[in-house]
Structure 1
Amino acid sequence: MMSTYMPSPEDIDRKWYVVDLAGKTLGRVSTEIATILRGKHKPIYTPNMDTGDFVVVINADKVHLTGNKLEQKLYRKHSGYPGGLKETAYDELLNDKPEEAIRKAVKGMLPSNKLGRKMLKKLKVYAGTEHPHQAQQPKELEL
């Protein structure tokens, strides 16, 4: 009789990766980052467990969008009160908080539950080239 393999927390080996977004397309890079955060690139992937790795994103302010999305793409949030809709254009968000633009793109590609929130905590986004995670010896990831 065969049984399904379920990895234990001790079996999960978490690595650190650095992704440079200079000149890369937002959507294509976000899907790859979400795949690594979920652990789908590993043979021990299990949908109900967090088997993914840590991702450090640098140069978030140099990401590229295709078409007219820079002017037309809007991020919306609602306070729950009447008239509480706030809209922010992508170019405005990229100028003010480039880290948040990348985080929102990757968050939309992760599960919308406790597991997805746990996976999102392994994403570290920085606008410039410097990051404080040199001690983890992250590997350069070419996407």
Structure 2
Amino acid sequence: METQAPERTSLKFIILYKGIIATIMLLISLISAWSWRNFDTLATWAEINLINGEFQTVELILKPILNAGIPSLKLVARYTAVYGSLIIIALVGLWYEKFWSKILFVGLVAVPLPLEVKELIHDFSIIRLTIFILNLAVFIFLMIREFKTED
């Protein structure tokens, strides 16, 4: 079964988009893992910078990390590492058109959709709406691609 050119191009864009997302997730995992292992150092650094008047640095970078706490950072590090790794595995399989990767990838795209709806309801932003629309479009494209009837 040969894939049509526009469909293959769309799949390449999806692979690129989700590859960027997976890379960001793995970076978040590494930052979270480093942060909970060096939590005391970060707190000390934040305190010094607050004294020196570096409010923007502490506010933008360290406040979310320091407010999260070690248990939350551990959880974020673990889950983003697993999810990001699974996305990369599925993307490689999709690139080589492996059947198992289609099932895995559709599942991985569908899993966060309910959470994204919840986030949109409770904390609406244009960025969240854009991400939700992109992920929904990817999910719909994959479902149509996998379940369309062959002529």
TM-score past 0.5 threshold? no
Q: Which has the higher helix share?
A: 2
Larger Rg: 2
TM-score by length of 1: 0.26
TM-score by length of 2: 0.25
Q: Which has the higher strand share?
A: 1
